[in-house]
Structure 1
Amino acid sequence: MTYVVALDVGGTSMKGGLVTRGGEVTVLAGRPTGREHGPDAVVEAVRAYVGEIADLGRSRYGVELAGVGLAVPGIVTASTAVYSANIGWRDVPARLGHDVRTGGLAESVFGAGRDVADFLFLPIGTGIAGAVVLRGEPYGGARGWGGEIGHAPVWPAGEKCACGQIGCLETYASASAVARRFTERSGATVTAKEVVERAVAGDPVAADVFGEAIEALAIALASYVLVLDPALIVIGGGLAEAGAALFEPLRERLAGRLAFREPPPVRPAALGPRAGMLGAALLGWQAAGDDDAGTDWSLDVLRGGSVS
């Protein structure tokens, strides 16, 4: 049974696993990237983790791996492909993808967007990024910046963003921003999840902060809808776990900002925190020359899978 190594490399940690051609997933415990020790340490951490996962695959299936897929943050173009010699692997085809666009690819092939050709994948976590999926493929734009909706200005006279711009969506609606803005107003240090819980329970400060986050999202999404007319908006990340507390008012406010047309459906992501890793598996199979991998994978199997 052939397999690929799939790795989702985040800012501080990595999630990895091996995925067979039939869509059977084995997830390994995460590993730190070691970025505080510099870029060479990150490369070494990635190489070691890939080697660990590949060794597990050899012992389990008795064959060599077919390919490697890496989902990484930063500016990555769709045409970028790396080979093993760059980081010490030998004769293993590998493919690199932007972490959020790779998650969008997974949601497109076997997740919440599998029944549409054009949608926006918007994971809301520490920051906010977006993956524009057009005709079933993530679109990176002319220079790899496509989908940076987190830095679309929603209040031009608003707060300064860490990126240097003013009033970015991320400054109001990311999980870290929700927690920070509540702390600034209340003096209590809490998580974004706790802010949502307090808002639902009737805390006026939490309700204001969370309401402003939802309003910022509605403004940004309305602009996106009017420009690209997506069939669907898929929201993931930690804030999506708020469920109805997020989705119901967001749908209502988005509709209110689109006076002359119906809004597209707004759905929660189907793959949760595994989206990037599963998208990396698709990249790995593409690197191995199998562009049809994933089309017959079971969502229930992908969500489950064994843990080693």
Structure 2
Amino acid sequence: MRHVIALDVGGTGMKAALVTADGTLLHSARRDTGRERGAEAVVESILAFAAELRAHGEEKFGEPAAAAGVAVPGIVDAERGIAVYASNLGWRDLPLRALLSARLGEVPVALGHDVRTGGLAEGRLGAGRGADRFLFVPLGTGIAGAIGIDGRIEPGAHGHAGEIGHIVVRPGGPPCGCGRRGCLERLASAAAVSEAWAAASGTPDADAADCARAVDAGDPRARAVWQEAVDALADGLVTAHTLLDPHTLIIGGGLAQAGETLFVPLRAAVRQRLTFEQLPEIVPAALGDRAGCLGAGLLAWDLLTASGPGAPTHSPEVTA
């Protein structure tokens, strides 16, 4: 059975799958990234994991993978296949596409940015399916974005398109790792909410999920922290919406797990800020933590499809 290898590399873990052309997951697996062992060990873990998947496909389905796709964090030069920089994994200018291709027997390999790759999957298979223009915004440790246009993800001239987390929404606000102050991700990411709620509650190990539960319980301190984050997020989303005019805003990541505790006030805050713009749909992401892996599979199939993007025709099935 013809299939491709899909790898989603995160700061702490890796998700992988063998994927058919119609989006079905034939096999899935997870491994620790092992970043505590250093950058070289992380790279070897990725290559070894991919080789295991290739061997499994040969044994189980009688043929090796036809291609591979890998999604990684940080700065990515997808055209040259270079993982330019990832602070949490310790690498710089890593020729990951060439290394993977060599380990897998010179099969074609596609390299993508983790958020844009996840956005590709949400656009073709998930919450953005059927929308000709959407913005995918996962709210995790940081905040990034992916701009979807007609079934593809816009990379930008320098590979930085969609970096909504570094829109300044509170000038002079808390310092951000990018060098600015008051960036959206410093106020509305899961990490930012965790930090603010730990301080407000006096509980050092409290996190964003604890804050959401306290909001539901009616705690006024939690409601204040939550509303501050929602207001900052709404300001950032309205700026992006005014520039991009998408039909759909897809919100994912850990903070979106709060469900209507997030979406009810967020929709209201966005609505209040719009003047001439059309109100977009604001919906939760549909694929959860599978999005990056599924998107990596789509990148691999796109390499093998001569005429167009080669999108699967139905939602993927997941097997153990």
Task: Answer whether TM exceeds 0.5 for this pair.
Answer: yes
Is it true that 1:220 corresponds to 2:236 in the alignment?
A: yes
Give, in whole Å, the separation in 1 of the partners of 2:209 and 2:269. Answer: 21
2:18 maps to a residue whose letter is: L
Name the residue aligned to 2:104.
89
Spell out the pairing of 1:259-278 with structure 2 (5 A cutoff). Answer: 259-278=275-294
1:157 aligns with 2:164: no
Match of 1:294 in 2: 311
Matched to 2:213, the amino acid is: E
Question: Which residue type is aligned with residue 154 of structure 2?
Answer: Y
Amino acid in the other structure paired with 2:271: A
* Secondary structure at the counterpart of residue 8 of structure 2: strand
8 Å contact from structure 2 (residues 101, 108) kept in 1: no
**Amino acid aligned to 1:248:** V
Hey, what's the Cα distance between the residues in 1 that align with 2:194 and 2:252?
18
Shifted more, 259-268 versus 74-83: the winner is 74-83
SS of residue matched to 2:76? coil
TM-score scaled by structure 1? Answer: 0.93
Conserved 8 A contact 2:21-2:312: no
In the other structure, the counterpart of 1:305 is 318
Structure 1, unpaired ranges of 5+: none
1:41-84 alpha-carbon deviations (Å, 9 max, x no partner): 12111111111112221122111111100001122244234345
Identity of aligned residues (%): 47
Q: Is 1:248 matched with 2:295?
A: no
Which residue number in structure 1 is paired with residue 25 of structure 2? 25
Cα distance between partner residues in 1 of 2:100 and 2:195: 43
> 2: distance between equivalents of 1:241 and 1:26?
27
Residue-by-residue CA offset, 1:75-121 (whole Å, 9 max, x unaligned):
22442343456653322110000100001111111211111111100
- 1:235-273: CA deviations, max 9, x gaps? 111111111111111111101111233321101111111
1:52 corresponds in structure 2 to 52
Q: Distance in 2 between matches of 1:85 and 1:67?
A: 10
Deviations 1:188-240 (A, max 9, x none): 12221111010111111111111111101100011111111111100111111
Q: Distance in 1 between matches of 2:275 and 2:154?
A: 28
Q: 1:137, CA displacement in angstroms?
A: 1.4
Within 5 Å, give how 1:115-134 maps onto structure 2.
115-134=130-149
- The one-letter code of the counterpart of 1:3 is H
Post-superposition shift, 1:21? 2.0
Give the letter for the 1:10 counterpart.
Answer: G
The question of whether the paired residues in 1 share the 8 Å contact of 2:101 and 2:109 is answered with: no
Question: Secondary structure in 2 aligned to 1:209?
Answer: helix
One-letter amino acid of the structure 2 residue matched with residue 282 of structure 1:
L
Unaligned segments of structure 2, at least 5 residues: 82-96
Residue correspondences, number: 303
Q: Distance in 2 between matches of 1:125 and 1:119?
A: 19
**TM-score scaled by length of structure 2:** 0.90
Question: Does structure 2 conserve the Cα–Cα contact (< 8 Å) formed by 1:77 and 1:140?
Answer: no
Q: Structure 2: which amino acid aligns with 1:11?
A: G
For residue 148 of structure 1, report the CA deviation from its aligned partner: 0.9
State the one-letter code of the partner of 1:128. Answer: I
Tell whether the 8 Å contact from 2:251 to 2:282 is kept in structure 1 after alignment.
Answer: yes
Shifted more, 237-246 versus 185-194: the winner is 185-194
Deviates more, 1:117-126 or 1:158-167: 158-167
Distance 1:137 1:78, change over 3 A: farther
Equivalent residues of 1:84, 1:91 under 8 A apart: no
What is residue 5 of structure 2 aligned with on the other side?
5
Deviation of residue 182 (structure 1)?
Answer: 0.7
